[in-house]
Amino acid sequence: MRFKPGDIVRHFKRETLSEEEKKTGKYLYRIIGVATHSETREKLVIYEALYGEGGYYARPLEMFEGETDHTKYPDIRQKYRFEKEEEN
């Protein structure tokens, strides 16, 4: 995995936000870790939303580390669906 527990990552849709909206932390997440699905053995990334009500989410590792669909989102510059947020 490209990320480690504790890393803050941004979803590519963060590019579509105004500077004011970015201040809310929208589309920022903290990596909790990688879990293994008990029946399929598929690797799942567990991550926490850092905005709104928060909450924990799981997404297949392959999808989490996949590239942004630039056919569907041609104006997005971010290469991968999730990338590490640069520290300020």
- Amino acid 65: pLDDT: 95
CA 28 to centroid of chain Cα atoms:
7
What is the separation, in whole angstroms, between the first and last Cα of the chain? Answer: 23
CATH of domain 8-84: 2.30.30
Spatial contact of 74 and 59, defined as CB atoms under 8 Å apart = no
Q: What is the pLDDT of residue 87?
A: 66
Distance CA 21, CA 37 (A): 35
Segment 30-66, tens digit of pLDDT: 999 999 999 999 999 999 999 999 999 999 999 999 9
Count the neighbouring beta carbons within 10 Å of the beta carbon of residue 16.
12
3-class state of residue 64 by DSSP: helix
Single pTM value for the model: 0.91
